[in-house]
C-alpha cells in the first residue's frame, strides 16, 4: 500500500534521535529514518542512521566523499531497501515501498547527474511531466517563474544547455510533480560557485513556499546558508547534528579527518 497519510499524521511512537530537529507542532516529521543500516552486496556502508526532516524545513546531510550520504538518500527514496531499521513517511512505515509509490505520496528525488533527457528540448522535457495531471502551460508558468533562464532556452535541446541550466531543468522536472518532500543529491556537483549560489537561492525560495527539503552535499558552505538543521555523516554514521551555527568546529574535524566508507 502506498503511504498516503497526510503530513499532519501524528506518530505516537516517535522519539528523539541523533539526527533529528524537532517537528513543528509536535507532529510526525515528513521523513524519518530510524536506526537504518544499508549497503550493497551484503556489506553495510550505513550503520544505525537516525535522520528526520520536518515539514517546511531544509535539512542538510553533510560529510566527506564516501561517507554514506547518497546511500542514505537512496534508502529514503525507496531505491535501496535497508538491511535493518525503518523508514517512515508522514508517520507511516514504508520499508519495501516502491519508488513510484513514494513519488505518488509526495516524495521527489533529484539525483546526482542532472536527470534530464539530453536529446529532447527543454519544453519536451517539461511535457514529459504532464503525466502528473498538470497541464504543460501550468508547468511552464511555474518553471519559468522559478528559472527565468529556461524560458529563453525552451526550444533548445537539453544536452546543449550549460551544466547549471541542466540542473535547473532537472529541478523543474521534479518540482512539476508538486512534491511535499524534495530530496537533492549533490546539487553543486561540477558547477561553478556562482551557479551553485544561484541554485541554492532557488532552493531557499522553494523552502519558503513550505516544501520540506533534504539536501545531500559534500561541500558544506554551499548549503548551510539555507539549511535549518544539518547532520554530519562520517564512516556511515551521523556523528554530529544541530543548527548550522552549532556545527562549525565539527565540520572542520569531519572533513579533515573523514575518509571513505
Q: Does the residue 222 lie in any domain?
A: yes
Q: Is the pLDDT of residue 219 over 90?
A: no
Q: Is residue 140 part of a domain?
A: yes
Q: How confident is the model at residue 4 (pLDDT cuts 50, 70, 90)?
A: very low
| 208: in domain | yes
State what percent of residues in the chain have pLDDT above 90: 69
**Is the model's pLDDT at 226 over the cut of 80?**
yes
- pTM here is 0.85
Mean pLDDT of 132-150: 95
118 and 226 belong to one structural domain: no
Q: Which residue has the higher pLDDT, 29 or 135?
A: 135
CA distance 11 to 27: 7
24 within domain boundaries: no
Measured CA to CA, the distance from residue 90 to residue 249 in angstroms comes to 33
Residue 18 banded pLDDT, cuts 50, 70, 90: low
> Residue 132 belongs to what domain range?
113-178
Q: Do the domain assignments include residue 35?
A: yes
Residue 58: closest CA among 222, 203, 217, 251: 203
Confidence of residue 257 (pLDDT cuts 50, 70, 90): low
Instruction: Provide the sign of the torsion angle of the four alpha carbons 179, 15, 39, 260, taken in this order.
Output: positive
Average pLDDT over every residue of 186-195? 90
Residue 56: predicted pLDDT: 87
CB-side exposure of 226: number of CA atoms within 13 Å?
24
Q: Which pLDDT value is given to residue 28?
A: 63
The stretch 185-208 carries a mean pLDDT of 91
Could you give the CA distance from residue 222 to residue 197 in angstroms, rounded to a whole number? 7
What SS3 state is found at 72?
helix
Q: Which of 178, 200, 218 is the last residue of a domain?
A: 178
117 shares a domain with 54: no
Amino acid at each position: 500500500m502506498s503511504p498516503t497519510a497526510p503530513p499532519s499524521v501524528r506518530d505516537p511512537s516517535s522519539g528523539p534521535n541523533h539526527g533529528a530537529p524537532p517537528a513543528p507542532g509536535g507532529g510526525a516529521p515528513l521523513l524519518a529514518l530510524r536506526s537504518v543500516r544499508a549497503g550493497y552486496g551484503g556489506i553495510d556502508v550505513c550503520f544505525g542512521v537516525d535522520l528526520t526532516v520536518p515539514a517546511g524545513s531544509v535539512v542538510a546531510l553533510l560529510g566527506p566523499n564516501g561517507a554514506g550520504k547518497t546511500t542514505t538518500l537512496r534508502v529514503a527514496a525507496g531505491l535501496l531497501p535497508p538491511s535493518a531499521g525503518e523508514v517512515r513517511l508522514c508517520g507511516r512505515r514504508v520499508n519495501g515501498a516502491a519508488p513510484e509509490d513514494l513519488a505518488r505520496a509526495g516524495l521527489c528525488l533529484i539525483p546526482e547527474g542532472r536527470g534530464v533527457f539530453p536529446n529532447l528540448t527543454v519544453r519536451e522535457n517539461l511535457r514529459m511531466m504532464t503525466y502528473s495531471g498538470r497541464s504543460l502551460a501550468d508547468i511552464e508558468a511555474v518553471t519559468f517563474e522559478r528559472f527565468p533562464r529556461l524560458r529563453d532556452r525552451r526550444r533548445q535541446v537539453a544536452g546543449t544547455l550549460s551544466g547549471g541550466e541542466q540542473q535547473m531543468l532537472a529541478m523543474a522536472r521534479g518540482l512539476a510533480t508538486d512534491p511535499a518532500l524534495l530530496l537533492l543529491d549533490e546539487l553543486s556537483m561540477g558547477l561553478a560557485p556562482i551557479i551553485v549560489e544561484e541554485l541554492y537561492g532557488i532552493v531557499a525560495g522553494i523552502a519558503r513556499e513550505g516544501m520540506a527539503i533534504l539536501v545531500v552535499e559534500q561541500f558544506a558552505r554551499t548549503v548551510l546558508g539555507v539549511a535549518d538543521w544539518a547532520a554530519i555523516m562520517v564512516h556511515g554514521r551521523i556523528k554530529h547534528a544541530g543548527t548550522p551555527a552549532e556545527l562549525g568546529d565539527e565540520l572542520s574535524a569531519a572533513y579533515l579527518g573523514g575518509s571513505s566508507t
